[in-house]
Amino acid sequence: MNMELKKAIDQISKDKGIDSELLIETLEEAVRSSVVRKYGDDIDIEVSFNHETGEIEVYQFKAVVEEVEDPATEITLEDAKDHDPDAQVDDELGFRLKVEDLGRIAAQSAKQVIIQRMRDAEQETIYEEFKDRQGEIISGIIQRRDKAGMIVNLGRTEALLPKDQQIPRERFKRGDRIQALLLDVRREGRGPQVIVSRGHADYMKALFKREVPEIADGTVRILGIARDQGSRAKVAVQSSDRDVDPVGACVGIRGSRIQNIVQELRGERIDIVVWSPDMATYAVNALAPAVVTRIAIDESEKMLEVVVPDDQLTLAIGRKGQNVKLAARLLGWKIDIFTESRYGELHAELQHLEQVASVAEISVDEFLASGFDTVEKLDEADDEELLSIESMTESKIADVRSAINLLRSFHAAEADEAEGAVEEEDMDAQHGNESDED
């Protein structure tokens, strides 16, 4: 009968994947707790599992004394010699207790401790197994839906696919098999909480690593991912081998590699972007397929002013601003996009503003900081408003007014000259027509 306990331990160890020594320690602790519950905390005991007999052995230790004050922990020399003729005062003698004598309540307590410790050990085993797999792609079966998200059966445990880690508009039903990224494993009271994701950027990275050998072996590196889950993504790549094209490696022959990823992500469009240490080059690549004609970089503000041909504005911005939004997220910089015509207008206006600032001997940045970004706004402002500009004085206000009037006169002259040229062209054309009639 005793060997049945050893067989049970071996079977549980095999079925639950729990180390048998851990089970034995748990069993010993449970019996120790039951003995203490029955006999009190003062008793000195030792509990051990005998591997040869398959028995739990419990020994109570008592000190040999001349006169007993505590029968639970002491024994007289006379009584001690009945057990061991060589016993001496201050020796310790061990007396075996019968586990069967613990009683029904103590046995039930031991059973509860064993069950709880087994459950804890199993949960610890699951935690250790899954925490080492974070960042891997795992598969499971949709089991049910709850308020937090989808519950996915992984076999040994369940995982949560939170709502914010799902791909928008993606629908699953019970029994569907899915793949996801093992995002996190958390210790919780009811056992380890496994969190998986299909919307995280690292899931896309793991898919590329699985589909593209050059990424798996480190020849091609992914240096950034910006995703609008389920719709579009931009992936920045770099090759450490001059002979390996990072874009070609990711796309594959006739798009075979990237199509597998797109299919897994339910048709999410993916742009492969060549990373560059030069921000201007990187930005041009990130804004593709739009054509960029000019870029101004403000490193202190991490801002880019990008100029595109007038007919490329829609392409550069993208549907609902998606292209420029993903490019900005990929670069980590703010991007302002202008058409060439609009940029020309703004540049001309800034030149005029700089001319006025130069006459008044005030920095144009001070005009801009006070909200005066056009000459027209300066012209419409009263003296009190102009004095709000740093470095502005009443004498300089007169300089500003004079500069604006001079600029206005110059523009009027230019306009008259242009109008005269047009009239002259019209007259020449009219004379030419009359000559043809003659």
Specify the pLDDT at position 1.
42
Domain ranges of the chain: 2-128, 135-197, 200-275, 361-428
Cβ neighbourhood burial of 217 (10 Å; 0-12, 13-18, 19+): exposed
Fold category of 200-275 in CATH: GMP Synthetase; Chain A, domain 3 (3.30.300)
Give the dihedral sign, CA 78/79/84/87: negative
Average pLDDT across each block of 10 residues of the chain; the chain has 438 residues. List them in order. Answer: 64 72 78 79 83 81 86 85 85 80 55 69 80 89 89 88 89 91 84 88 95 95 93 95 94 93 92 95 93 90 90 90 94 91 71 78 80 79 83 82 77 54 51 51
* Residue 288 structure tokens: 């593709």
Cβ-Cβ contacts under 8 Å for 137 (sequence gap 6 or more): 179, 180, 181, 182, 203, 206, 207, 210
Specify the pLDDT at position 206.
95
**CA distance linking residue 165 with residue 181, whole number of Å:** 10
Give the dihedral sign, CA 277/278/281/284: positive
**CA distance linking residue 329 with residue 401, whole number of Å:** 44
Fold category of 135-197 in CATH: OB fold (Dihydrolipoamide Acetyltransferase, E2P) (2.40.50)
Specify the pLDDT at position 357.
79
Specify the pLDDT at position 433.
52
Cβ neighbourhood burial of 184 (10 Å; 0-12, 13-18, 19+): middle
Cβ-Cβ contacts under 8 Å for 292 (sequence gap 6 or more): 283, 284, 306, 307, 308, 316
Question: What's the pTM?
Answer: 0.62
SS3 content of the chain, % helix, strand, coil (to 5): 50, 25, 25
Cα–Cα separations (whole angstroms), residue 312 to 125, 308, 315:
57, 6, 5
First-to-last alpha carbon distance for the chain, in angstroms, is 133
At 360, which helix (H) or strand (E)? helix 340-360
Tokens 């308020």 — which residue? 147
Specify the pLDDT at position 105.
53
**CATH class belonging to 2-128:** alpha beta
Written as one letter, the residue type at 156 is R
Output DSSP code: residue 292.
Answer: -
Write down the CATH number for the domain with range 361-428: 1.10.150
- DSSP-assigned beta bridge partners for residue 400: none
